[in-house]
């Protein structure tokens, strides 16, 4: 069955490169953080100059940009917020994401920016949604404790757009309200300082003496819930991961773009779902689960393994940074050797399998191998003619997973 309506695909962007990658690989919108007021203080985050360029690139490609102002601010944190909102409005930001009522008030007093309510605000019912709507909120990013069906009912009853997380890391705290990092690292999780202390493997001193993890969640994916997103009119499907690589951004955007478009055209098949799932297995992730999308999260969503924090079937090799009619220039994140097999992943179309037979330096010197963090050139053959800048490439060989240190607490 075909349908004309389709949800927005919303992707994370740590920096300008990832913003461009997300949009080229199919995102309808991206969410980014500025230098202040957001919950990812350790991300690169966008300077004012980068924001201007990012908005220009997005709008040229019919995409939108949302800026996170979702930290819970103390009084001393408000300095300059009004001026910043005016700046965001002046460059054409499409919406800001807020959690705090005080921040919302400043946004409304100082600008005409559209306001989206962060998942941190824990909006879980239609009554709250109606109240937020009266405060000027245009969209709800609902708490991750809700199912797709519950979220759809909130949207229907309140008459407000609803957005859900469909992929990525999940927090064991209620809607992200956590203070573990405050105590373990002196960083306020709710003011942008979360260091994901819960994801470390702890060793408890108990009678059995077995090391366990107990606060860490599996990762979310909504591959098998695509029909429910359409049926319940979830207006925006959001990928988590503002700290993640361009490889992660590209693969998740490509996967969910394919999924949304295929459902719209009535072309969802088991083979397509398996293909999309396989590509999502290639990126760094923990075991996948559906979280609370179908029913309330339970013990099955706990990630109980000590190791394997960055499971993925493939290694991220690098990204194309320039092209000529004869060569692709690749910024490497891993070493590369003649004889290696790579997979070039274009934004549209099939993945290109290629065995490296020749490598060249940027000055044209023939190479047998080259170390990571270098730029290397490979010949651009006929099947690569549609490959452009910001195309990601992965190694065919499987990656080796490192084992983290145990953290012991009595």
Distance from the Cα of residue 187 to its chain's centroid:
22
Q: Which of 246, 264, 298 is the last residue of a domain?
A: 298
Give the burial string for 65-102 (b: 16+ CB within 10 Å, else e). Answer: bbbbbbbbbeeebeeebeebbebbbeeebbbbbbbbeb
111 belongs to a structural domain? yes
Identify the CATH number of the domain in which residue 355 sits.
2.40.30.10
Q: Which of 298, 327, 357 is the last residue of a domain?
A: 298
Per-residue model confidence as pLDDT tens for the chain (410 residues): 677 899 999 999 999 999 999 999 999 999 999 888 766 555 568 999 999 999 999 999 999 999 999 888 889 889 999 999 999 999 999 999 999 999 999 999 999 999 999 998 989 999 999 999 999 999 999 988 899 999 999 999 999 999 999 999 877 665 666 666 665 666 666 555 666 666 666 666 555 666 555 567 888 999 999 999 999 999 999 999 988 999 999 999 999 999 999 999 999 999 999 999 999 999 999 889 888 899 877 767 777 665 555 678 999 999 999 999 999 999 999 999 999 999 999 999 999 999 999 999 999 999 999 999 999 999 999 999 999 999 999 998 654 444 434 343 33
Instruction: Give this prediction's pTM.
Output: 0.88
State how far the alpha carbon of 242 is from the alpha carbons of 41, 84, 260, 305, 333, in Å: 10, 21, 22, 24, 19
Residue 33 confidence (pLDDT): 93
Torsion over CA: 31, 32, 34, 36 (sign): positive
Q: Are residues 126 and 268 in the same domain?
A: yes
Structure tokens at 217: 């969640």
Separation of alpha carbons 217 and 65, rounded Å: 29
If one counts every other C-beta atom within 10 angstroms of the C-beta of residue 34, the result is 20
Q: Are residues 280 and 319 in the same domain?
A: no
Q: Which of 240, 272, 298 is the last residue of a domain?
A: 298
Name every residue whose Cβ is closer than 8 Å to that of residue 327 and which is 6 or more positions away in sequence: 360, 377, 378, 379, 380
Asked if residues 137 and 116 have their Cβ atoms less than 8 Å apart, the reply is: yes
What's the domain range around 369? Answer: 315-395
Residue 170 confidence (pLDDT): 78
Q: What is the chain's mean pLDDT, rounded? A: 88
Give the burial string for 267-279 (b: 16+ CB within 10 Å, else e). Answer: ebeeeebeebeeb
Q: Are residues 21 and 98 in the same domain?
A: yes
Element (H, E) at 152: helix 148-158
Could you give phi then psi for residue 120, rounded to 5 degrees? -60, -20
Residue 296 confidence (pLDDT): 77
Identify the CATH number of the domain in which residue 110 sits.
3.20.20.70
Residue 211 confidence (pLDDT): 56
Length of the chain: 410
Maximum C-alpha span of the chain? 67
Residue 409 confidence (pLDDT): 35
Q: What is the pLDDT of residues 111-161, one digit of tens each?
A: 999 999 999 898 999 999 999 999 999 999 998 889 999 999 999 999 999
> How many domains does the chain contain in total?
2
Residue 399 confidence (pLDDT): 47
Separation of alpha carbons 97 and 102, rounded Å: 13
- DSSP, collapsed to helix, strand or coil, labels residue 228 as helix
């Amino acid at each position: 069955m075909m349908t004309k309506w389709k949800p927005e695909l919303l992707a994370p962007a740590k920096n300008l490169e990832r913003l461009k990658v997300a949009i080229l690989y199919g995102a309808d919108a991206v969410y980014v953080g500025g230098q202040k007021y957001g919950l990812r203080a350790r991300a690169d985050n966008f300077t004012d100059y980068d924001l201007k360029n990012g908005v220009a690139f997005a709008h040229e490609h019919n995409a939108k940009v949302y800026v996170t102002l979702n930290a819970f601010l103390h009084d001393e944190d408000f300095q300059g917020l009004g001026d910043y909102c005016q700046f965001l409005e002046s460059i054409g930001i499409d919406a800001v994401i807020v959690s705090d009522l005080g921040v919302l008030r400043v946004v409304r007093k100082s600008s005409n920016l559209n306001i989206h309510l962060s998942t941190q605000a824990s909006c879980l019912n239609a009554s709250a949604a109606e109240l937020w709507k009266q405060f000027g909120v245009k969209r709800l990013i609902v708490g991750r404790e809700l199912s797709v069906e519950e979220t759809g009912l909130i949207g229907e009853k309140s008459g407000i757009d609803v957005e859900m997380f469909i992929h990525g890391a999940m927090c064991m705290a209620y809607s992200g309200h956590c203070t573990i990092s405050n105590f373990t690292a002196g960083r306020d999780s709710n003011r942008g300082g979360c260091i994901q202390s819960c994801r470390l493997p702890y060793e408890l001193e108990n009678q059995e003496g077995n090391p366990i993890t107990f606060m860490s969640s599996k990762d979310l994916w909504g591959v098998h819930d695509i029909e429910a997103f359409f049926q319940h009119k979830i207006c925006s499907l959001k990928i988590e991961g503002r700290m993640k690589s361009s490889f992660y951004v590209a693969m998740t955007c490509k996967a969910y773009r394919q999924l949304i478009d295929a459902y719209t055209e009535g072309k969802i098949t088991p083979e397509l779902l398996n293909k999309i799932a396989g590509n999502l297995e290639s990126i760094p992730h923990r075991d996948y689960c559906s979280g609370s999308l179908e029913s309330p999260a339970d013990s099955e969503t706990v990630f109980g393994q000590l190791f394997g924090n960055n499971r993925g079937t493939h290694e991220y090799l690098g990204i194309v940074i320039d092209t000529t009619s004869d060569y692709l220039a690749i910024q490497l994140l891993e070493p590369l050797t003649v004889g290696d097999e790579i997979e070039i992943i274009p934004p549209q179309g099939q993945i290109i399998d290629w065995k490296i037979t020749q490598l060249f330096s940027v000055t044209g010197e023939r190479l047998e191998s080259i170390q990571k963090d270098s730029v290397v050139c490979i010949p651009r053959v006929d099947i690569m003619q549609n490959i452009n800048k910001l195309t990601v490439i992965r190694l065919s060989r499987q990656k080796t997973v490192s084992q983290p240190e145990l953290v012991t607490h009595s």
